[in-house]
Amino acid sequence: MFYIESNGYAATSWLARSISSLSALKCFHGSRAIPEGLPLGSELDLNERDFIAKLSSIEHDGDGVCVGAIHAKFPIEINSVIKEFGGHYSIAIRNPVSRIVSCASWAKNKFEKKEFFTIDKESLALAYQYCSSPLTWDDILFSYAIFHVVSYDVWTYSNKGQFDAIFQMERYTTEPEYFVAMIQEVTKNQITLNENEVDSIFSNGPTNSHSGNANKDIAEVFSELTDNQKRMIQGLFAVNSHLKGVYAELGYNMI
């Protein structure tokens, strides 16, 4: 039994579908209500202990099927419950600049659908401090995305000792060998992967609309940003010099 945490924008929907397409594997995504699979926030949401107990129960009743879940947004305390049930706890991360771009796109889409949320004062301050006139709504949403992604990555770094593994989206979506090693890791080598099934996963085109199937490096993604977007990222990293070290530890060399 395994659980992969994520803050989103890391092709976790693709990852869950890909895992579930493999023999002897089943993976839930974006839900604390299992096996129903309802969206987060439903009245059937389970707490940490009941969620892991349910995963374990489904696995034990599954005739050799290894069961897991991704992106249910549990606090770090779920780690002790996973260990109690003998499971594997990991987290999926992504190049922060690409992740910020995807988060900003998600935020804009939410507002366009009139699904509003609060923009915190730190995001507004970052946008007003570093953006040149005229300041746009897209700039403010991008600033929100910066704080949303960076704060979660700092949380990941602060708790990295709690995870059995940290997986990079850029690799598990483009490198079959990395993907196979990831599956073997989270299942503790309980299953043998079928080579044809893995080949099928990586011959189906782009992983999602945001990332495509290209493994762009941080410098390339950064070069495509607007001047205001670049200033906000550079400004935040200049004031918080420790962030480069945080990302280096997570496997990303910031510009």
Residues 91 and 37: their CA atoms lie apart, in Å, by 20
Give yes or no: residues 12 and 116 share one domain. no
Cα→Cα distances 65→19, 23, 144, 180, 236, Å: 12, 8, 40, 17, 45
Shared-domain flag, residues 125 and 227: yes
Are 36 and 103 within one domain? no
Evaluate if residue 31 carries a pLDDT over 70: yes
Q: What is the DSSP string of 164-202?
A: SEEEEHHHHTT-HHHHHHHHHHHTTT-S---HHHHHHHT
Residue 68 and residue 104 in one domain: no
The answer for residues whose C-beta is within 8 angstroms of residue 161's C-beta and 6 or more apart is none
CA separation for the pair 254, 52 (Å, rounded): 36
Instruction: Supply the pLDDT for residue 215.
Output: 59
Q: Determine, yes or no, domain membership for 207.
A: no
Which pLDDT belongs to residue 206? 57
Task: Kindly state whether residue 110 falls inside one of the protein's structural domains.
Answer: yes
Q: Count of domains in the chain?
A: 2
Task: Write out the DSSP string of 69-105.
Answer: EE-----TTHHHHHHHTT-EEEEEE--HHHHHHHHHH
- Confidence check: pLDDT of 211 > 90: no
70 with 58, same domain?
A: yes
Give residue-wise pLDDT tens across range 60-118.
Answer: 998 889 999 999 999 999 999 999 999 999 999 999 999 999 999 999 999 999 999 99
- Residue 184 domain-assigned (yes or no): yes
pLDDT for residue 192 = 86
In terms of domains, do 62 and 12 share one?
A: yes
Residue 173 lies in a domain: yes
Same domain, 67 and 175: yes
When pLDDT is cut at 50, 70 and 90, the band that residue 210 belongs to is very low
Judge if 13 and 89 occupy the same domain. yes
Coil, strand, or helix at residue 121?
Answer: helix
**What per-residue confidence (pLDDT) applies to 216?**
72
Q: Do 126 and 64 share a structural domain? A: no
207: pLDDT confidence band, cut at 50, 70 and 90? Answer: low
> Is the pLDDT at 214 greater than 60, yes or no?
no
The reply to whether 128 and 151 lie within a common domain is yes
Q: Is residue 128 part of a domain?
A: yes
**What is the span of the domain harbouring residue 187?**
2-94+163-201
Name the average pLDDT for the chain.
93
Q: Are residues 197 and 86 in the same domain?
A: yes
Asked if 32 and 131 sit in the same domain, the reply is no
Report pLDDT for 212.
45
